[in-house]
Structures are given as structure tokens and as C-alpha cells.
Amino acid sequence: MMQRLAQSRLLWLTVIFLAAAVLLPLGGVSAYILGLLTAAYYFGVFAMSWDLLFGFAGEVNFGPTFLIGVGAYTGGILDNLYGPPIWLCLVAGAFAAVVAGLVLALPALRVRGPYFGLTTLVAVLMLQNFVVVFAGLTGGEIGLTVPDVISIDAGVNYYVALGFMVVSGVILFGLSRSPLGLILQASGQDPVQAGALGFNVAKHKLAAFCVSAFFSGLAGALLVFYLGTASVGTVVDVGVAVQVIIAVVLGGRRTILGAVLGAVFLIGMGEILRPIGELATFIVSAIALVVVLLFPNGFLGMLLRTKETS
């Protein structure tokens, strides 16, 4: 009963937020803000895919940017070399990310906890080194400029990002509430018991990894074709990975949808605090730390909790 109540609250909240997001460009919001939100939506997809892996499969992936970066760079390099239609680059990016996810997950899932985290972290560092070493192909530290972009109109870009985020959100959220999501959650919490009940834990986790990789890679490639460039600082750097993790914890782990809130908050706060310069990151981190310490369920947890008790 409580579960259903919370779910309907969640539904209403989602509908309200979505309606606001859809109507926003019609309200005469500046192209600059739309651009920020566009990036925030792609970022939200990164965060949602990470949450599927962490919140449900219980695996702390320190390297979401490995999957994002592989998708982004594959799409970008392909476009740069052969210039096929953009959708082909996007598909290639997503596919490459899934392959990279498999390559990473097969050895990494043999180990648990901090070891898994470190393996994924190392993958990011390797990718970063790869990009710098093969600068001729990847543009190195300066970044790779792609000849094609999705659109130059801020409104179109905004709706593409919003649409993509909604579709990914529906799929990831549906997946997390499906039997598959329950099995994942069980394997995350007690792999031995889940195995004893006859579920193939490794196979389910691998599947979760692939789904996470698919959406991360696709979002990464889309981001490249939105920005027109791919650089280590935007899609590979460990700092970006850290932001994805913070976004999920802030928004509320194990909620999928909360991750979007966290992502929009992080990017929004970064922008609002920009005038105060260097201290902005300090303040954002401090807020995040307070949320982690005092409200471990994150924004979405807070919203649903207060609504339930009132």
C-alpha cells in the first residue's frame, strides 16, 4: 500500500517535472539555459545508467566514463574519418560501448567490492592514456572536433536530449521494476542466496553492465554530436566519473529517476555559483557531503518521504 502510494507520488512528481521541462522552451527561456539543460539531460542518462549498476546490481563502477568515453570517441572518430550519417555513428558508439563494457566486465566481475571499483577506475585511466598517446586519431588533449552536429538550433537540441532522456528513463526504470531488476537487486544484496535460489548472478550482472554500457555509450555519442567536440575533460576524465557518482547519490540511489534530479542540480548549481569563481566546486561538494551525511536517501528520498508522512 505504502509502496503504491509512493509510486503514485513518484508518478505525479515525474509528470510535473516533465511538463515543466517540455513547456520550458515555449516560455521564452534563453538559448544559453536551454543549452545547459541539454547537457544536463545527457548527464542525467549517464547517472541513470550508473544507478542501474550500483543501486540494483550493487556494483560500484568507478569508471562510468570508460563506457561513456568509448561511445563518444567511437562516434566522433568514425564521423571524422568517413563521415557516415550521424545515426550510424551513434549506433556504432553505443555498440562499441557495449563491447567495451563486456571486455571490462568479464574480468572485473570476478572480483568484488573495492577491487571491482579499482579495475573500473584503471580502465578510465587507460582510456585517458590511450586518447593522449594516439593523439593523431583522437585529437589528444586538445579534443576531437566532429564535422557534423545534430542541429544548430538550441530548441531542437533541447528536445532531442529531453526525448532521449525520457526514453532511456522509461526503459531503465521499467527494467529496474521488472523481475530482472528484482533479481539484480537480490544478487547485489546477497549473491550467495540469489545463487542458491537458482539465479545466475554473473549472467544477470553482465546483462546489467551491458544495458548500462549501451545507454552510457549512446548518451556519450549524442553529447559529442551536440557539443561538436569530444575531449578528455568532458567525457573521459575521472572528475566526470566522480560527478556522475555524486549526481546519483545526491538524487537518491536505487531510484533511477532521482539520478536526473541530481544531474540537473549539479549542473545548475555549478552555473549559479559560477560568479564566485573557484569556491563554486567547494560549495557544491559541501552541499553534496551534507546530503550524503544527513539525508542518505537523496533528494528523491526526501521528496517521497515528506509527502508520505504529511
Partner 1 sequence: MLAIQILVDGFAISALYALGATGFTLIFGVSGVLNLSHGALMVTAAVAAWAASGELGLGSYAGAVVGILVCLITTFATYFFIVSPIERSRALPSEEKEIFVLTGTLLWGIMITEAIAYFFTSNAKTVLPVVNGVVDLFGVRTPSNEIFTSIVCWAVIGLLWLLVNRTRAGKAVLAASMNPRGVTLLGFDLSRIYITIWGIYGVLAGIAGVLLGMFLGVSSYSVGPLTASAFSIVVLGGLGSVSGSLIAAYVVGYLETVTAYLVSPAYRTIPALLLLVAVMYVRPQGLLGRRAR
What are the residues binding partner 1 (CB under 8 A)? 54, 58, 60, 107-108, 110-115, 117-119, 121-122, 125-126, 129, 132-133, 189, 238-239, 242, 245-246, 249, 253, 278-279, 281-282, 285-286, 288-289, 292-293, 296-297
CB of 114 vs partner 1, minimal distance in Å: 6
Of the pair 123, 219, the CB lying nearest partner 1 is at 123
Of the pair 178, 285, the CB lying nearest partner 1 is at 285
Of the pair 3, 278, the CB lying nearest partner 1 is at 278
CB of 231 vs partner 1, minimal distance in Å: 17
CB of 52 vs partner 1, minimal distance in Å: 15
CB of 299 vs partner 1, minimal distance in Å: 15
CB of 98 vs partner 1, minimal distance in Å: 20
CB of 135 vs partner 1, minimal distance in Å: 10
Of 264, 236, 224, nearest to 76 by C-alpha is 224
How far apart are the C-alpha atoms of 93 and 72, rounded to whole Å?
A: 6
Do you know the residue count of the chain? 310
Q: Long-range contacts: 23-31, Cβ < 8 Å, 24+?
A: 24/158, 25/154, 25/155, 25/158, 25/159, 31/154, 31/155
